[in-house]
Amino acid sequence: MKMLAEILETLPDGEVEEVRIGLHWTAVVVNVNGEQRCGLASTLVGGHDHHKEADVPQAGELEGISGRELARLALGNAPTQASVGMAALNALLPRRPQTWVDANAEEMIAAHGKGKRVAMIGHFPFVPRLRTRVKELLVLEQNPRDGDLPAESAAKVLPMVDVAAITGMTFLNHTLEILLGLCQPQAFVIVMGPSTPLSPLLFDHGIDVVSGSIVVDIQPVLKVVSQGGNFRQVHQAGVRLVNILKP
């Protein structure tokens, strides 16, 4: 992932204080020059074969790894380790509150998709509402629900849409750059979800809006993550939804 590698080169280092791998979300807490930060990422898992290699070979010892070293796991192909790495990367990212716009992804997509054809990579809970706010909504999903298209349809769908909204989970499975390459140059592109790094470097790769999250109340969020909370629960525990916009 060229984008992730670029972001990693810009990160400060930090001391890893906690790693929580929950049922739905992974959280990493780092200390950067005395400032405690927490990053989130979706938890990806492999199979449940107890005889295969460990999903996280250094489980129980991750606090002994530097923040940047932990973040580099995001570049690998091991699903759970990539989740840990992405959460660490998001924790290390410098905070730039002056660039944050408080809005959720649904509002961003609706504003830019009004009267237009929109493709969404990943089925988000607001899909039914969004269908009434844009001209046409095409949802591509690895595990399609009623009305969704299979993810394999991306090569056909993305070149024909005005707005593309792509889940940040594509950072974890390393498909984002492929999907961006399928979009028309004039398409408006939003990358969204808590896994998404709030980095302005993404604007150099054809992305117009980066829609992510900031953990503002670390301990309650860690508790909910550890007890299998979904994102609605994690959000309520202490997460702020923010966007950064291409200048």
Both 17 and 69 in one domain: the answer is yes
Instruction: Please spell the DSSP secondary structure of 22-41, one letter per residue.
Output: -SSEEEEEEEETTEEEEEEE
Residue 189 CA to residue 170 CA, distance in Å, equals: 14
Both 125 and 191 in one domain: the answer is yes
Mean pLDDT confidence for 218-243: 97
Residue 14 CA to residue 220 CA, distance in Å, equals: 22
Q: Is residue 245 part of a domain?
A: no
Place of tokens 């060229």: 2
Contact by Cβ (8 Å): 161, 154: no
What global pTM score does this model have? 0.94
68 pLDDT band, cuts 50/70/90, is: very high
Both 184 and 201 in one domain: the answer is yes
User: At 33, which amino acid appears?
Assistant: N
**First CA to last CA across the chain, in angstroms?**
24
pLDDT of residue 215: 98
57 pLDDT band, cuts 50/70/90, is: confident
Residue 181 CA to residue 75 CA, distance in Å, equals: 19
Both 57 and 90 in one domain: the answer is yes
Q: Is residue 247 part of a domain?
A: no
pLDDT at position 46 over 80: no
Mean pLDDT confidence for 158-181: 96
Residue 196 CA to residue 40 CA, distance in Å, equals: 9
Both 104 and 188 in one domain: the answer is yes
pLDDT of residue 55: 85
Both 106 and 67 in one domain: the answer is no
Q: How many domains in the chain?
A: 2
pLDDT of residue 49: 60
Q: Is residue 165 part of a domain?
A: yes
pLDDT of residue 18: 97
Both 122 and 173 in one domain: the answer is yes
Both 104 and 149 in one domain: the answer is yes
1 pLDDT band, cuts 50/70/90, is: confident
- Whole-angstrom CA distances from 164 to 107, 169, 209 are 14, 15, 11
Quick: pLDDT tens for 233-243: 999 999 999 99
Both 63 and 104 in one domain: the answer is no
Mean pLDDT confidence for 197-224: 97
Domain residues for the domain of 160 are 99-212
Mean pLDDT confidence for 5-20: 97
51 pLDDT band, cuts 50/70/90, is: low
Q: Which of 175, 198, 196 is nearest to 11 (CA)?
A: 198
Residue 119 CA to residue 164 CA, distance in Å, equals: 5
pLDDT of residue 53: 78
pLDDT of residue 50: 58
- Whole-angstrom CA distances from 225 to 8, 11, 34, 43, 221 are 25, 25, 24, 10, 6
Mean pLDDT confidence for 198-224: 97
Contact by Cβ (8 Å): 73, 82: yes
Both 8 and 72 in one domain: the answer is yes
Mean pLDDT confidence for 153-174: 96
Both 124 and 155 in one domain: the answer is yes
Q: Is residue 246 part of a domain?
A: no
CATH code, domain carrying 85: 3.30.390.100
